Amino acid sequence: MNELRREPVTGCWIITYLDRIPEVKDFKIESNEKKGEATCPFCWGREDQTPPEILVHRKYGPPNSPGWSLRAVSNKFPALRIEGELNKEGVGVFDMMNGIGAHEVIIEAPEHKRDAADLTYAEAEQVIWAYVSRSIDLRRDKRFKYILIFKNYGKIAGASLEHGHSQLIALPIVPKRVQEELEGAATYYNYKERCVFCDMIREERDEKERIVYEDEKVIAFCPYVSRFPYEVWIMPKKHASDLTGLDRDTVPSVARALRDSLLRIKKYLGDPAYNFIVHTSPINGREREDYHWHIEIMPKLVKVAGFEWGSGFYINPVPPDIAAKNLLSVKLEEK
């Protein structure tokens, strides 16, 4: 019989299939073949087609020229702009403010056809350090309340450019989805005097059925209440509420867990589209005892349709223990 499972942070309910579990061939996985190299603005030699570098890891050459291994630039078509004032006001029963924020792109490698799953561990570390560095810098702007870091891979996941990149948006408000997670974590902590995410880590380590990566610093697992098939969460074992608190000893583990998880998903499922999101505390909540920063990876294998929108439930056709077992069957080489 299928099961209803409740996620302890937001209270979201999931229907997990146990009766009939689909195989990879049962998913319609759209091709993510990269064909736009000839005109890609993120490739070596086209640095003049993006805004100037904000952050760069450069092997040689002057700024805004070839020779880099990672670049962070402002988005050419930003959702929010950094110039101006918020000017909050009411419009009848509604609230309105100017579209102030920051919207940046982290170009993860110079080669067009390499994505996050194809990076070496050293290159993946550069990406994590870019997230941390840009977050620390944008924290200094008093207008910003939250920094959202995410990656869209593949057209159906929202990627408008093929070249491997992730994005960062600094917001003048804390998003509702983030606030719900914070409130759920606080409720759990106030009742049990423990972090719910730390409890999740202990549970996963005790059961050992859903872990896809683990070392002394970090764990990656398919959560017991997975909303999507082959969903993976990555967490530092040491409690920390904010990404910017990452230390030098932990960054390599986060990079390895992220790269290995993405590569397992790519190899086992045939390179599906996916999103990943860095869940971190608001700018004024760096030392929260009730919250634990983490990364959520969500492959795009099923469609969210009327039932999900109407009920707030999700339907996951692949139990997380089966997903973890399948991902672990992939043999990885050291890079």
> According to the model, what pLDDT value does residue 87 have?
85
pTM: 0.94
> According to the model, what pLDDT value does residue 317 have?
93
**Domain 3-328, CATH class in plain words:** alpha beta
User: What single DSSP character describes residue 51?
Assistant: P
Residue positions annotated with a catalytic role: 165
Retrieve residue 46's tokens.
Answer: 């086209």
> According to the model, what pLDDT value does residue 79 have?
92
| Longest CA span, the chain | 62
Instruction: Give the Cα separation of 192 and 203 in Å (integer).
Output: 15
pLDDT beneath 70: ranges in the chain: 285-286, 334-335
**Domain range list for the chain:** 3-328
Q: Kindly report, residue by residue over 77-89, the tens digit of the pLDDT.
A: 999 999 888 888 8
312: left (phi over 0), alpha (psi -120 to 50) or beta: left
Instruction: Give the Cα separation of 274 and 266 in Å (integer).
Output: 10
Q: Which helix (H) or strand (E) holds 169?
A: strand 165-171
* Nearest alpha carbon to residue 298 among 228, 209, 242, 224: 228
> According to the model, what pLDDT value does residue 285 have?
63
- Pair 297, 269: CB distance under 8 Å: no
> According to the model, what pLDDT value does residue 128 have?
98
